[in-house]
Amino acid sequence: MRTLPEPVQRLVDAFSRLPGIGPKTASRLTFYLLRAPEELSKNLSEALIGIKQDTGLCEICFNITNKDTKICEICASEQRDRSTLCIVEEPLDVLAIEKTAGYNGLYHVLHGVLSPIEGIGPEDLKIKELYERLKKNDFKEIILATNPSMEGDATAMYLHERLSGLDLRITRLALGLPVGGDLEYADQNTLLRALAGRQNLD
Ligand SMILES: [Zn+2]
């Protein structure tokens, strides 16, 4: 087959744009769906639309939440320690840290990292919102839990400089996390150790 029918090629192309999916996997998934019962495609397409239409960001921490709840479960919970704030890059990092069951404070999701090469500056992240939060709340400790990558480190350093005038303990996750890696891919024990061994930055 030199060329695929347009609807087939369209799905192959769409899959190819996802992270971790090369052209081969994209074709395999597409041809799998072609053979599979129609119900599978229908569920998949509804779920795809749902993740955009039925979700929103928590008004406080910017974690992903249901569209009809303005505040996420963590921010709403009375069981959480409201004196500690963990700053992460993405909602998936919240999930990774929650899975360790070693942290009971609150979160702030930046939705990215500073990256001069990609033209991402502080104004593109939820940093202004972070300052507002720090003004209004009485946090005792800020944990900078951005990824141990070049951009993650640079973002942590930037925040550390900006926040060091405040009366706060500022910590960074301990080494032991794979350098250049993502929090979301770290195994639970490694992440738990990094959290427990977090170090003061000042
Ligand atoms: Zn929240």
Q: Is the same domain home to 48 and 89?
A: no
Mean pLDDT of 33-46: 96
180 in a domain, yes or no?
A: yes
Residue 92 pLDDT > 90? yes
| Domain carrying residue 45 | 6-53
CA of 32 to the centre of ligand 1 (A): 38
How far is Cα 150 from Cα 8, in angstroms, rounded to an integer? Answer: 39
Per-residue pLDDT band at 1 (split at 50, 70, 90): low
Q: Is the same domain home to 48 and 75?
A: no
Percent of the residues in the chain that have a pLDDT greater than 90, as a whole number: 72
What is residue 173's predicted lDDT score, i.e. its pLDDT? Answer: 83
What is residue 197's predicted lDDT score, i.e. its pLDDT? Answer: 76
Per-residue pLDDT band at 176 (split at 50, 70, 90): low
Mean pLDDT of 158-175: 88
58 in a domain, yes or no?
A: no
What is residue 149's predicted lDDT score, i.e. its pLDDT? Answer: 85
Per-residue pLDDT band at 50 (split at 50, 70, 90): very high
65 in a domain, yes or no?
A: no
What is residue 195's predicted lDDT score, i.e. its pLDDT? Answer: 82
How far is Cα 46 from Cα 31, in angstroms, rounded to an integer? Answer: 19
What is residue 132's predicted lDDT score, i.e. its pLDDT? Answer: 95
Q: Is the same domain home to 119 and 155?
A: yes
61 in a domain, yes or no?
A: no
Residue-wise pLDDT tens digits, 110-157:
999 999 899 999 999 999 999 999 999 999 999 999 988 889 989 999
Task: Provide the CATH number for the domain around residue 94.
Answer: 3.40.1360.10
Q: Is the same domain home to 126 and 168?
A: yes
CA of 145 to the centre of ligand 1 (A): 16
CA of 137 to the centre of ligand 1 (A): 14
Q: Is the same domain home to 90 and 131?
A: yes
Phi/psi at 149 (nearest 5 deg)? Answer: -110, 175
Give Cβ neighbours of residue 5 (< 8 Å, ≥ 6 apart): none
CA of 61 to the centre of ligand 1 (A): 4
The whole-chain average pLDDT of the chain stands at 91
62 in a domain, yes or no?
A: no
Residue 179 pLDDT > 80? no
Residue 181 pLDDT > 70? no
CA of 72 to the centre of ligand 1 (A): 4
What is residue 140's predicted lDDT score, i.e. its pLDDT? Answer: 96
Q: Is the same domain home to 89 and 123?
A: yes
Task: Provide the CATH number for the domain around residue 17.
Answer: 1.10.8.420
Please, is 164 exposed, middle or buried when counting C-beta atoms within 10 Å of its C-beta (0-12, 13-18, 19+)?
exposed
Task: Identify which of 37-41, 48-52, 153-157 has the greatest average pLDDT.
Answer: 37-41
Mean pLDDT of 9-35: 95
Please tell me the total count of domains within the chain: 2
